[in-house]
Amino acid sequence: MKEHVVEVRTTISESDAPMSAETLMLLDEARRIAHKAYAPYSRFRVGAAALLDNGEVVSGSNQENAAYPSGLCAERVTVFYANAHYPDAKIMRLMIYAETDNGPVERPITPCGACRQVLLEKESVQGSPIRVSLAGADSIYNVGSVSQLVPLSFVPKSLEG
Ligand code: THU
């Protein structure tokens, strides 16, 4: 039997104070939009803010539903909004912020598998990396591309056989 070992390296660069103007702007926006999340069931509010290559910043929050699986995460709301309004724009960077009723999460959250898949599609189609920034209590954790978060991925090219 053959064994194939696939290693995916994820490099996380931590940026703490002083944060750049861009980082602070995206963090502010992700936080602002998280406060508006519709999350009556989990009480876990998430905000995502995307910086586009046309200079626009778009953002979104998680949207829950009494039929639980019908809800959507903040990251997908944001990517789909960006695609709907600016279909030709690339996403340069995505900031993700989360909070509970006790305030901001101590440890940053990472996008769920379904959101990684949607982000990966965007990254594949636009042909340039999306930097993913995860907001922690005192610092930001940056991953250079979505591909670093998805090993053995299924991408548009996979459909070519
Ligand atoms: N959620 C997000 O919006 N983004 C994530 O990265 C993880 C989870 C939402 C989904 C649900 O509304 C709530 O957080 C609890 O899972």
Residue 75 in contact with ligand 1 by CB distance below 6 A: yes
Q: Which sequence positions are flagged as catalytic?
A: 75
Q: pLDDT (tens digit, 9 = 90+) per residue, 80-130?
A: 999 999 999 999 999 999 999 999 999 999 999 999 999 999 999 999 999
Q: pLDDT (tens digit, 9 = 90+) per residue, 38-50?
A: 999 999 999 999 9
Query: What is each CA distance from 98 to 60, 89, 124, 132, in whole angstroms?
Result: 12, 26, 26, 14
Quote the pLDDT of residue 17. 78
Ligand 1: centre distance to CA 46 (Å): 6
Ligand 1: centre distance to CA 4 (Å): 33
The architecture (CATH level 2) of 10-150 comes to 3-Layer(aba) Sandwich (3.40)
Burial of 20 (0-12, 13-18, 19+ CB in 10 A): exposed
- Cα three-residue angle 73-78-84, rounded to 5 degrees: 125
Q: How confident is the model at residue 15 (pLDDT cuts 50, 70, 90)?
A: confident
